[in-house]
Structure 1
Amino acid sequence: MTFDVARIRADFPILQREINGHPLVYLDSANTSQKPRQVLEAMRLHNERHNGNVSRSVHTLGTEATTAYEEARAKVAAFINAGTPDEIVFTKNSTEALNLVAHSAGQYLALKPGDEIVISEMEHHSNIVPWQLLCERTGATLRWFGITDDGRLDESSLAELINERTRLVSLVHMSNTLGTINDLSRIVARSREVGALVTLDCSQSVPHLPVDVRGLGVDFIAFTGHKMLGPTGIGVLWGRFELLAKMPPFLGGGSMIETVTMAGTTYAAPPARFEAGTPPIAEAIGLGAAVDYLNELGMAEVHQHEQDITAYALKALADVPGVRIFGPATPEGRGGTVSFAVDGVHPHDVGQVLDALGVEVRVGHHCAKPTCVRFGVPAMTRASFYLYTTTDEIDALARGLDQVRKVFG
């Protein structure tokens, strides 16, 4: 189908809002995306007509809820080309998914002093802190890739960094601050040479470009619903089934068991093993509706639109005096996220002036403080785009930055 941004925007009620008397310009989709009517309606219909708990009732509502929940799992599996829906574990977000891997895969690997885990300076805190905690528990050592001046992973020490002591590598697929889309083929190949598992944080990539988990050749990926038109409270861990089947559970409770006695417990097969308690049912159904919406548009088309918008934004911001852009200077190998600084103006002040004009951006360290430290700034301003972003909105951002310069001299 033709990528008709005006028609797409009509599906998003919130985009009709005004902020401080100005049309809403929403440039914070890397933080959380907006939801189309189709997602909102799917969740409303479920709650009004089919609300019941899953995998534990034989009555009609429980059966309908279970069917819809498992249909959502199958949709997500197909969306990323998983081998089977049983490789899809629903979590509450990417953070929980990555913590699940750190906890359960960490136990499976039986890490000990002398073992090493490799990450990078480019990571979101959710892909740093769980590994630091795992190293504290096991005595393993955490090591990391640096970042080049143009915002890409520094692979110059690849062979030394990933070595025979490396047990697990966990990296971001697309940076939430720099917008960098990492080509991880060399890193994955090296990890395979030494027998290390590979995890990817795909929170920013799965919503914005075609992702084929089998093509990536990794062991786990994590992503979240609220960045891909879905609701908050639902995330996804994909893992190779043979690994999930060997890993111990992350949480204990109802629905994750095979049998329980007072003397001990045996666990259900994945994915149920990792979904203790009542799951986010309506949220999973909303995520399934979001997948339907993205499939209708086509992820290659979504990615191309964002490439066009990003190219336009890089040029527009480069033309604003005093603006320093972080990350790759061209849209190649870059997603729809542009972080920048305005000379002499704190990002919080930039954000406040832009908000007064109806332009919504994010300011701060973006849960990626080591990246800010690498580039010598305490914080950044970030504009992030999605399938509903227009060039007119980029123009509004550029005009807003001109106003920032006027206000702060």
Structure 2
Amino acid sequence: MITTKEYFISSCDDFELNIKRKSKLRFLCTYDDKVEPKAILSIIAGLGEDAQKSYKEHLASSIAEHFKGQVVVLSVNYFCVALNPDQGAKPYLDERDIDIFLENCARAKFRVADDFRDKAKDFDYANLIIGQINGVLDALKARGEIAADAHMGISVSLAPPNGEYQNFGVMSAIDVINALLYVKKDFGLQKLPCVLVGSSHGAYIANLAAKIAPWAIAGVIDNAAWNLKTEIFDKKLYRDAAFRTISFGKEIANEGLHRAHDRQKNFLFCFSNTTKWTSDESSPNYFSRSRYEIRDVAFKDHLANQAQSNKPIYVGYHSSEDNIANLDDKIAFYESLKALGYDATLHVINKQSQVDGKFIKNLAHSMNMSIKMLILKELPPLLEKLSKQKKSKVKKQISYKTDEWIYSFKEFGSKIIAKCEKI
């Protein structure tokens, strides 16, 4: 019988910024209590609809049933997975949002109360003022005093529930690994291979988890993963999609560097998530080149070091028309993997004839791909390859050197112990 068990466990603190985590890691484990499993599959949600609880539960049950209980399926609510209001994130205006609001009001010659800054921390009050400005804009447009398509920019922050914030990847990846390790111990499944599958940001987290604990991951199935490239930092490519997701772009520019936008009749709402990182080089929370390097799964020095451990099997899909996650970067990553002896296969979707409307629905970012069909297509041959591999013993720890820090990850007591030490 297919059963779903819910877990709440202690996972990881923010070891980079020395912040004690307030929340427990929540994940679901779906399995057949009458069948001996052959593998563990972790389905990693991205930033969109695949993070919805009902969707994840239905997908996990469907996969477990299809494989007749031979695959244990995990759905991990990793750190800061709830980025959007429909997942529980609450809107508010931080100090920079208020600065941007007042700057735009002054530019448009809208006068707001002198105590707006203090009162705007209550979003209901800020929303009331926005409503008043909306009426003024309607009147101005009706009289032809401003263009009919004019918009006022409103910067809004989103606070994920449980005191979480945008760490960008590292804590999320450790959560995925810790869930796997916990289930392996709890179910007595230490010898089973663990495979990760994700789309977009979820696929990026899968690749990062394989970097952090390569000995624990047997395979990665990646649809349209993006990457936080070190070149983004070096070239100051602040409009890169991954950079915007870190959520401090509004420190650099009022518009265009937010994680998401919502264009309405009179306003362009620009959303960013709460983060402890900053672009301020004088701050101890500065997101420096070293912070980029550890999150860059294709960083060559680190990849060569990773290759000394277990080599997961990689299977990737990517659209040639992806305008968020660059195809050339993905090709270069897979070429690097193959040069280091990995079994790595990348499927490039570059023809309309490959869009079947069921598995692949378009050529945009992530192709609106059916994750269920991706798993059914790629998991069986991946597990077949794994069954023929010779297993070698590797150390359950790894270290990566950056220009400022040495990052170390070690499995101890069915958890990942992470630290970074100043060079």
TM-score calculated relative to the size of structure 2 = 0.26
| TM-score when normalising by structure 1 | 0.27
Write 1 or 2 for the structure with the bigger share of helix: 1
Say which structure, 1 or 2, has more relative contact order (CA 8 Å, 6+ apart): 1
